[in-house]
Amino acid sequence: MSKAAIDIHNLPYADGDFFAFEQLLSAKEQDRLAEVREFLAREVRPIAVDCWNRAEFPMELIPKLAEIDLVSPVRRQGYSNLFAGILHAEVTRADTSIATFMGVHDGLFTGSIEALASQEQQDAWLPEIYSLKKIGAFGLTEPLGGSDVAGGTRTTARRDGGNWILNGAKRWIGNATFSDWVVIYARDVEDNQVKGFLVDTKTEGYRASKIENKISLRTVQNADITLDNVVVPEFFKLANANSFRDTNKVLKVTRLAVAWQAVGQQLAAFDVARRYAVERSQFGRPIASFQLIQHQLVQILGNAVSSMGMMVRLSQLEDAGEAKDEQSALAKAFTTARMRESVALGRSILGGNGIVTDFEMAKVFADAEAIYSYEGTHEINTLVTGRAITGISAIV
């Protein structure tokens, strides 16, 4: 076949799955992944840049997300953790903001209910959560507390008869400007333990204000939350959320999900950079024909494939019930570091066009910074891993 006859957009490795990891999924899971990909290509990617530019969330997308039914693929739908991870990477590949919306509602919020609520509480709340009739948020990070929130939670909970009274503030809470419910983690003043509470956002004393001027995840509606004597009935205290150790059960799983986002972000960078390289001509030929451009594309692909290989194995361990906190920490630290390099290479390939969102790469580049920081910074996850391999904690 001559070079002129080659369809450069349909080569065997155009999808970035260079080692065919998706073949590890069952036939049912592969079919479901194809269905979701078609949905993302039709409903999400075409609107992603415009929503990002306007810093507005597409509320009209929520019923469509409900219809495609992405919430709780493992616990409720019986899929593997490997499928759930690849699925989350694919949503990220289409748009990191929508993936983060789902990560907050499904992973953090729904995960808190599934892991820490009593059966009676789950029966009462989960049907509307699964159907997206009730949108959730997750309130842990505080204005003065991020990595140290485990031992430094300033938001307080005080028992008052059959109620709890919450006071304090939370920051960077995704979905919180429009969510119906939010799980708030607060320190019980009586025993100094962090406990979880489901708060109706219409409750008196609860206020959420949008954080403006972000350069990353602009579509996500992050908020500052203030809690001024918010009254929470006893039934809405999560029955099994009685210490930060309990909270960490949720974070271990969501940290794994964020590492999968780093995979999806690299695949997005590969998609955009590869297409641009084969379509953009300089000096009379596609820039993909230049050795340095091919080197950069291969580096992006290598980063993505190595990250994906790590995540495939970690998801298998999670399916077997053998995954450890430090393994999730290493995965989050490693994949996000590779992601940062990958999106920078992608931006470089696009040259000046890489700094305007018209060509998508600027959004991919900027959104990577949020993934790099949330669910535990690179530094904290590195130190968690370091503690595991030395037996010595370097965290104060």
Q: How far apart are CA 243 and CA 191, in angstroms?
A: 10
Q: How far apart are CA 393 and CA 183, in angstroms?
A: 30
Q: How far apart are CA 206 and CA 58, in angstroms?
A: 24
Q: How far apart are CA 280 and CA 350, in angstroms?
A: 9
Rg (CA), the chain: 22
Task: Using a cut of 0.75, tell me whether the model's pTM lies above it.
Answer: yes
Query: Sign (positive/negative) of CA torsion 187, 190, 192, 193?
Result: negative
Query: Sign (positive/negative) of CA torsion 362, 368, 374, 378?
Result: negative
The CA-based dihedral angle spanning residues 232, 233, 235, 241, taken in that order and rounded to the nearest 10 degrees: 30
The SS3 call for residue 171 is strand
Strand partners, 137: 182
pLDDT of residue 9: 67
* C-alpha pair distances (Å), 113 with each of 106, 128, 146, 198: 10, 12, 22, 9
pLDDT of residue 198: 98
Q: Could you write out the three-class secondary structure of 172-190? A: EECCCCCCCEEEEEEEECC
pLDDT (tens place) for every residue of the chain, 396 residues total:
344 455 766 777 888 899 999 999 999 999 999 999 999 999 999 999 999 999 999 999 999 999 999 999 999 999 999 999 999 999 999 999 999 999 999 999 999 999 999 999 999 999 999 999 999 999 999 998 776 776 679 999 999 999 999 999 999 999 999 999 999 999 999 999 999 999 999 999 999 999 999 999 999 999 999 999 999 999 999 999 999 889 888 888 888 899 999 999 999 999 999 999 999 999 999 999 999 999 999 999 999 999 999 999 999 999 999 999 999 999 999 999 999 999 999 999 999 999 999 999 999 999 999 999 998 889 999 999 999 999 999 987
Query: Cβ atoms within 10 A of the Cβ of 9, count?
Result: 10
Walk me through the domains of the chain, giving residue ranges and CATH numbers: 21-130 (1.10.540.10), 136-242 (2.40.110.10), 245-390 (1.20.140.10)
Q: Which one-letter DSSP state was computed for residue 212?
A: P
Residue holding tokens 């999560």? 238
Q: How far apart are CA 304 and CA 296, in angstroms?
A: 12
Residue holding tokens 């059966």? 119
Q: How far apart are CA 351 and CA 154, in angstroms?
A: 45
Buried b (16+ CB within 10 A) or exposed e, 287-301: bbeeeebeebbeebb
pLDDT of residue 332: 96
Nearest to 103 by CA among 367, 295, 286: 367
Strand partners, 204: none
Q: Which two tokens stand for residue 6?
A: 């080659």
Nearest to 271 by CA among 4, 9, 3, 7: 9
Q: How far apart are CA 119 and CA 105, in angstroms?
A: 19
Q: How far apart are CA 138 and CA 24, in angstroms?
A: 32
Q: How far apart are CA 48 and CA 362, in angstroms?
A: 12
pLDDT of residue 396: 72
pLDDT of residue 147: 67
Query: Cβ atoms within 10 A of the Cβ of 80, count?
Result: 18
Q: Which two tokens stand for residue 22?
A: 């998706």
What residues contact 39, with CB distance under 8 A and at least 6 apart? 64, 68
Half-sphere exposure for 364 (CA within 13 Å, toward CB): 34
pLDDT of residue 1: 39
pLDDT of residue 144: 87
Query: Sign (positive/negative) of CA torsion 174, 171, 340, 338?
Result: negative
Terminal-to-terminal C-alpha distance of the chain: 63
